[in-house]
Chain A
Amino acid sequence: MGNNKEKELIFEMSKKGRVAYSLSECDVPEVALDSVFPAEYLRQTPAELPEVSELDLMRHYTELSNRNIGIDTTFYPLGSCTMKYNPKINEDVARYAGFAKIHPYQAEETLQGALQVLYDLQTELCEITGMDEVSLQPAAGAQGEWTALMMIRAYHESRGENRTQVIVPDTAHGTNPASVAVAGLETVTISSDDQGNVNLDELRKAVGPKTAALMLTNPSTLGLFEENIVEIAKIVHEAGGMLYYDGANTNAILGITRPGDMGFDVVHLNMHKTFTGPHGGGGPGAGPIGCKKELVPFLPRPKVVKDGETYRLDYDIPQSIGRVKAYYGNFGILLRTFVYIRANGPVGLRRVSEEAVLNANYMMRKLAPYYDLAYDRVCKHEFVLSGRRQKKLGVRTLDIAKRLLDFGYHPPTIYFPLIVDECMMIEPTETESKETMDKFIDVLIEIAKEVEENPAIVQEAPHTTVVSRLDEVTAARKPVLRYRKALQEQAALQEEGSKVNEGVNV
């Protein structure tokens, strides 16, 4: 993780006269800028961007990268995020000039390769999810959720029905209720039963003539398959609602079961989870949606269609909700995921899910003697532990997560889902070997022992990272959200002044 010194900002490395760019000389006759723009439009004060040499720049970002960890660095069992290996060939293909250097508005006949990628991906995602059509436009899962909710709204409105309530279980991702709000609908939260399933009695009470949809993650964020899915679909459909599938956890079901077969009407997929779009430190992702035929007329436009042997963009969708993102989605990410699907085929994809689930169950049972299981049943691709046993000894799950950093691991997702006390959600994924999991299991067992024998070492963790725990309260109360040259110089001057004074005193 590099050294423990403070890392200077690139602005603090800046020195007038240094450059890290090389633009061609102007090869056209020049005119004065104030003959083009009225003087008042010309920038008065240049933007204070850094001035560094190319080597300075590379060292800066290399050092920053050394203060970061990714999947290639270490095991990253972050539940619900599916931190699986990101294949390198995906990166190569995305950089081919024929994919990277193409413009969204160039003529369709000059984009046949790209449109074919999109068309084939649409078709294959239909097959994988059991849906009738797919739109690749949404940029991320949350945008997919919102898009689908807008379609559901348009569907009900087209039938003259005023349905405004969306039922969301208490285990749902925060994006679900947030997307409901952005779609102008209202969230109705229902609880889970003691097995981690949707509480059917509550669901029956919640549905009615106002029900627009139920949003469900299956397997849930507890890593559990919703055993009553058939009954749930029946309850929602009989009430006239739509069933929405949050695809964050699709890694457990490839070739094993399909949302369409479970009774879902619409689904979003997080291509950056199940299908190896790299997480990129927070994005970009891709959040395609698939739907059954009732919702097809409302899909965003345009969509990619095939006429004979020609691919084209179809804008003629009269009932479409419109556009949700500029152009045609995050093509570069979609392309990477398509390469991944090609590398696996039907046999590989099924193995992906089988082995993801096997790995999760193996880890869960290995750790069960040392940490409490939130739900003692077979899990899918992830499982949830509770640190309540450790909490009694004064050690919080946050401490355990921080202690894992000392062993070089990225911790699991913590404190989510909200319904499990001192929650720790572990998702190993299928790309990790048994040896990697065994080592991690040993470390978690060792930490459990530390909690009993030497809790301070856990409570005060991390001990080996470039910074220790950070003051998040002050960060939020007195926000410093950007560097300001003037302020820094002032502070430096004051410091210098006080040093001079000290000098005098000596």
Chain B
Amino acid sequence: MNYRYLPTTPEDKAEMLSFLGIESVEELFADIPESVRFKGSLQIPAALSEPDTVRHFTKLARKNVDASEYAYFLGAGIYDHYIPSTVNHVISRSEFYTAYTPYQPEISQGELQAIFEFQTMICELSGMEVANSSMYDGATAFAEAANLAVGGASGKNVVVSKAVHPEAREILQVNAKGQGYEVIEVDCKGGVTDLAALESAVNENTAAVMVQYPNFFGAVEDLVSIEKIAHKQKGLFVVSSNPLALGVLQPPGAYNADIVVGEVQPLGIQMQLGGPSCGYFAVKEKLMRKIPGRIVGQTTDQEGKRGFVLTLQAREQHIRREKATSNICSNQALNALAASVAMSALGKTGVQEMARLNVQKTQYAIREIAKLADYSLVHHNPVFNEFVVKAPKAVAEVNRELLKRKIVGGYDLGCDYPELAGHMLLAVTEARTKEEIDALVQGLEEIGRG
């Protein structure tokens, strides 16, 4: 087998060993105690040639159902959207994807400027003043927002709506356990946060009130009322928001949110089994020095030319160690770049147009499904691109039948909300055609009857 990533020839090796005055590479490992040396060969498959690699992984890829052949009505946090062709071309440039974190600004101006532009675009969409360079995903960004709000203080709690993504809430619980604060979950009523329950859950120890907008069921929350509840006691108002929806909806910044986080995947990032995606984290200026992760700032060089650097690093782990605002180091820079390219390509008009298409297609699907005798729409709130449907059969069964029609059906809400067993969350993005929506509706009808 050839090892094309290993350039050292036997001759090179001999020269280097001779320079070092040793007989074999083994001598360089003499400091490893014999008792812990690994003997023999690792029990992993033998090396594959490049053609065999292609064959092997093509075969594995074909074992999956994917969105190049199937119409996806599955969302719940990850969506099949239009991705401009330019995105892949830009992120395939190796000056970007093979670079490290831009710690040497003179040779990293490209990455630094791209991040500065990303921060600006996120601020624009969310209506906030400051954004960081990215987080692992929307769900971890959500938990970091709670960590920021609590700020290590003892006896604090955060109040979270159950209409927030179940995985984000689960991650929040793990963070809360680590940091020693309490998570109080508030029930939903009719597919949105129960405001009365929310109000009674908030107390003087509440560090944050946290909701999702549009929420996990696709619905627009009453941010005006929630903001009042959040700010009545001195807690922070935290909103997790799909940035694409903000092409048509008022941004959380307009509702006086203190922290806005979310998942950037709908803007230019492939679904790829949910990762890597990209979280965003935006705040009011007063919280700027408490934000987790890397931030790029504008400055000048010795000749007065504009340039960009990583800044406010006194918050970060490599400087502050155990006193850092978060332990995050690696982030999702390349996906933030992908999102920047998508946001630039869509631009001011495209983001609005794409968001509107999501609304229109979703409204069409809602109208058509409402006509089906065996299905019912259980909530009646304004929604962005998702909605809840009560099915006459188990969701898994409905989805199995839809799959035969080359349709990937909705999310089974019974997995997370026992009271919603038999309910599916359907997502209709701009990527779905009328023909596909009609096929879904027809499929549902036949499955319901059958």
Residues of B contacting A63 with CB < 8 Å? 110
Cβ contact within 8 Å between B25 and A97: no
- The answer for the CA separation of A181 and B20 in the assembled complex, in Å, is 43
Q: Is B205 an interface residue (CB 8 A)?
A: no
Query: Are B171 and A140 in contact, CB atoms less than 8 angstroms apart?
Result: no
Interface residue count on the A side (C-beta < 8 Å) = 200
- Pair B433/A33 contact, Cβ less than 8 Å: no
**A113:B64 contact, CB within 8 angstroms:** yes
B84 to chain A, nearest CB (A): 6
Which residues does chain B contribute within 8 Å of A339, judged by CB atoms?
Answer: 53, 57
- Could you say which residues of chain A place their CB within 8 Å of the CB of B233? none
A187: nearest residue on chain B (CB-CB)? B322
A331 to B273, CA, bound (A): 6
A1, A57, A114: the one within 8 Å of B64 (CB): A114
Contacts of B248 in A (CB 8 A): 33, 37, 42-43
Partner-contacting stretch, out of B116-124, B190-198, B369-377, B442-450: B116-124
Bound-state Cα–Cα, A30 to B430, Å:
13
Q: Mark A346-367, 1 if CB is under 8 A from B, else 0.
A: 1111111011011101100110
If A36-B363, A44-B250 touch, whether A323 touches B96 (CB-CB below 8 Å) is: no
Tell me whether A7 and B113 are in contact in the complex, defined as CB-CB below 8 angstroms, given that A68-B108, A279-B98 are known contacts. yes
Q: With A37-B249, A182-B147, A182-B327 as given contacts, are A51 and B322 in contact (CB-CB < 8 Å)?
A: no
Q: Complex: how many Å from CA A93 to CA B263?
A: 25
Chain B count of residues within 8 A CB distance of the other chain: 204
By the criterion CB–CB under 8 Å, are A471 and B331 in contact?
Answer: no
Q: A326-B171, A342-B53 are in contact. Are A98 and B62 (CB under 8 A)?
A: yes
Q: How far is the CB of A382 from chain B (nearest CB, A)?
A: 13
Interface centre among A27, A60, A351, A377 (most CB of B within 10 A): A27
- Complex CA gap A478/B190 in Å reads 47
Bound Cα distance from A263 to B109, whole angstroms: 44
B243: min CB distance to chain A, Å: 9
Give the one of B42, B179, B298 with max A CB within 10 A.
B42
Asked if A440 is an interface residue, CB under 8 A from chain B, the answer is no
What is the chain A residue whose CB lies nearest that of B68? A97
**Is B8 in contact with A327, judged by CB distance below 8 angstroms?**
no
Nearest-CB residue, chain A, relative to B57: A93
Task: Find out whether the CB atom of B408 lies under 8 angstroms from the CB atom of A358.
Answer: no
**B327 with A146: CB separation less than 8 A:** yes
Q: Is A283 an interface residue (CB 8 A)?
A: yes
With most chain A CB atoms within 10 A of its CB, the pick from B64, B121, B332 is: B64
Residues from chain B with Cβ under 8 Å of A24 in the complex: 357, 430, 433
A459 close to B (CB within 8 Å): no
Q: How far is the CA of A352 from the CA of B421 in the complex (A)?
A: 52
* Beta-carbon contact of B42 and A65 below 8 Å: no
Contact A174 B271 (CB under 8 A): no
Once the chains are docked, how many angstroms separate the CA of A97 from the CA of B273? Answer: 11
Q: Which residues of B from 275 to 324 have beta carbons under 8 Å from A?
A: 275-278, 288, 294-303, 305-309, 311-314, 316-324
Residue of B nearest to A352 (CB): B6
A111 interface residue (CB < 8 Å to B): yes
Contact A141 B314 (CB under 8 A): no
Of A92, A329, A378, the residue contacting B275 (CB under 8 A) is: A329
Of residues 18 through 72 on chain A, the ones whose CB sits less than 8 Å from some CB of chain B are 18-24, 26-31, 33, 36-38, 40-44, 46-52, 54, 57-58, 60-72
Q: Which of A44, A76, A346 has the most CB of B within 10 A?
A: A346
Choose among B41, B66, B311, B332 the residue that contacts A255 (Cβ–Cβ < 8 A).
B41
Task: Check A86 against B254 for contact (C-beta < 8 Å).
Answer: no
**In the bound complex, how far is the Cα of B1 from the Cα of A351, in angstroms?**
12
Contact with A along B329-340 (1 / 0, CB 8 A): 111111101000
A67-103: contact bitstring with B at CB < 8 Å (1 yes, 0 no)? Answer: 1111111001010010111110101111111111111
Contact A49 B347 (CB under 8 A): yes
Given the known interface contacts A47-B247, A142-B330, A256-B37, the answer about A481 and B99 at a Cβ–Cβ threshold of 8 Å is: no
Q: How far is the CB of A221 from chain B (nearest CB, A)?
A: 12
Which chain B positions have C-beta within 8 A of A357?
A: 25, 28-29
A139 within 8 A of B: yes
Contact in complex: B5, A103 (CB < 8 Å):
no
**Which stretch of A203-211, A387-395, A462-470 is in the interface?**
A462-470
Minimum C-beta distance from A247 to chain B (A): 13
Known: A28-B361, A475-B297. A343 touches B108 (CB 8 A): no
Q: Are A58 and B86 in touch, CB under 8 angstroms?
A: yes
Kindly report which residue of chain A lies nearest to residue B84, judged by CB atoms: A21
Which residues of A from 206 to 245 have beta carbons under 8 Å from B?
Answer: 224-225, 227, 229-230
Within the complex, the shortest CB–CB distance from A232 to chain B, in Å, comes to 11
Q: Would you call B160 an interface residue if the criterion is a C-beta within 8 Å of the partner chain's C-beta atoms?
A: no
Tell me, yes or no, whether A499 is within 8 Å of chain B by CB: no
Instruction: Please name all residues of chain A whose beta carbon is closer than 8 Å to the beta carbon of B101 when the two chains form the complex.
Output: 279, 281-282
Residue of B nearest to A261 (CB): B36
Whether B300 contacts A470 by the Cβ 8 Å rule is: yes
Q: Whole-angstrom distance between the alpha carbons of A50 and B277 in the complex?
A: 23
> B121 — nearest CB in chain A belongs to which residue?
A49
Is B47 a contact partner of A342 (Cβ separation < 8 A)?
Answer: yes
Question: Given A322-B173, A402-B106, A434-B16, A48–B32 Cβ distance below 8 Å?
Answer: no
Contact A54 B117, beta carbon cutoff 8 Å: no
Complex: how many Å from CA A47 to CA B239?
Answer: 18
Residue of B nearest to A116 (CB): B60
A288 at the interface (CB under 8 A from B): no
Kindly identify which residue among B7, B13, B97, B297 contacts A481, using a CB–CB cutoff of 8 Å. B297
Query: Which residues of B (12-40) have their CB < 8 Å from a CB of A?
Result: 12-13, 15-17, 19-20, 25, 27-33, 35-38
A96 to chain B, nearest CB (A): 4
Nearest A-chain residue to B381, judged by Cβ: A37
Given A33-B248, A107-B403, A114-B273: A279 touches B94 (CB 8 Å cut-off):
no
B360 lies within 8 A of A280 (CB): no
B45 contacts the other chain (CB 8 A): yes
Assembled-state Cα–Cα distance A233/B37 (Å) = 15
User: 0/1 per residue, B71-91, Cβ < 8 Å to A?
Assistant: 010101110101010101110
The answer to whether B65 and A102 touch across the interface, beta carbons within 8 angstroms, is: yes
Whether A444 is near chain B, meaning CB under 8 Å from some CB there, is: no
B341 touches A61 (CB 8 A): yes
In the complex, are the beta carbons of B116 and A483 less than 8 A apart? yes
Given known contacts A38-B382, A47-B348, A322-B171, A100 and B44 CB-to-CB distance under 8 angstroms: no
From residue A112, how far is it (CB to closest CB) to chain B in Å? 5
Question: 17 A–B contact pairs at CB < 8 A?
Answer: A10-B344, A14-B348, A18-B347, A36-B382, A89-B53, A105-B76, A107-B399, A124-B44, A175-B329, A182-B178, A255-B38, A284-B334, A350-B41, A405-B107, A431-B6, A465-B106, A476-B297
